């Protein structure tokens, strides 16, 4: 595995900004994904980072630092529908094309 570590739960207010952090072991690192998963539904792809820096896509942005083994997902202008689990997943040259997921961060957006 890649020892993906992310907080278990977070709470934020509608309209606010929230940052969900993820750390991983850097050995063999080959790319990092973020997925969103609503309860009982399929994980849906949000972002992919393989190079250092920030990738912006609408209200969602993802950042990667390869040297620090660190990524974050930034959600702006939070909406109630953003309440979901956010999964950080790494790919590793030692494990082929499998995604190694963290346990997920359950985000609750409150009014």
Partner 1 sequence: DTGVSQDPRHKITKRGQNVTFRCDPISEHNRLYWYRQTLGQGPEFLTYFQNEAQLEKSRLLSDRFSAERPKGSFSTLEIQRTEQGDSAMYLCASSLGQGKNIQYFGAGTRLSVL
Nearer to partner 1, 9 or 14 (CB): 9
For the CB of residue 36, give the shortest distance to partner 1 in the complex, in Å. 11
CA distance linking residue 22 with residue 18, whole number of Å: 13
For the CB of residue 42, give the shortest distance to partner 1 in the complex, in Å. 4
Question: In which residue are the tokens 């929230």 written?
Answer: 18
Tokens of 89: 């997943």
For the CB of residue 87, give the shortest distance to partner 1 in the complex, in Å. 5
The DSSP-derived string for 27-91 is: TTEEEEEEEEE-TTS--EEEEEE-SSEEEEETTEEEEEETTTTEEEEEE-S--GGG-EEEEEEEE
Nearer to partner 1, 14 or 41 (CB): 41
For the CB of residue 31, give the shortest distance to partner 1 in the complex, in Å. 7
- Residues that bind partner 1 in the complex, under the rule CB under 8 A: 4, 31, 33, 35, 41-45, 48, 50, 87, 89, 91, 95-104
Nearer to partner 1, 96 or 111 (CB): 96
Nearer to partner 1, 29 or 101 (CB): 101
Q: Give 48: exposed, middle or buried? Use CB within 10 Å, 0-12, 13-18, 19+.
A: middle
């Amino acid at each position: 595995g890649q020892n993906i570590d992310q907080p278990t739960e977070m709470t934020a207010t509608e309209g606010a900004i929230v940052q969900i952090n993820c750390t991983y072991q850097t050995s063999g690192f080959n790319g990092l994904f973020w997925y969103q998963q609503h309860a009982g539904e399929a994980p849906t792809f949000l972002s992919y980072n393989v190079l250092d820096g920030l990738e912006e896509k609408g209200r969602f942005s993802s950042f990667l630092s390869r040297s620090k083994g660190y990524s974050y997902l930034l959600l702006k202008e939070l909406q109630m529908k953003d309440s979901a689990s956010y999964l950080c997943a790494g790919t590793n040259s030692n494990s082929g094309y499998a995604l190694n997921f963290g346990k997920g961060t359950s985000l609750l957006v409150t009014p």
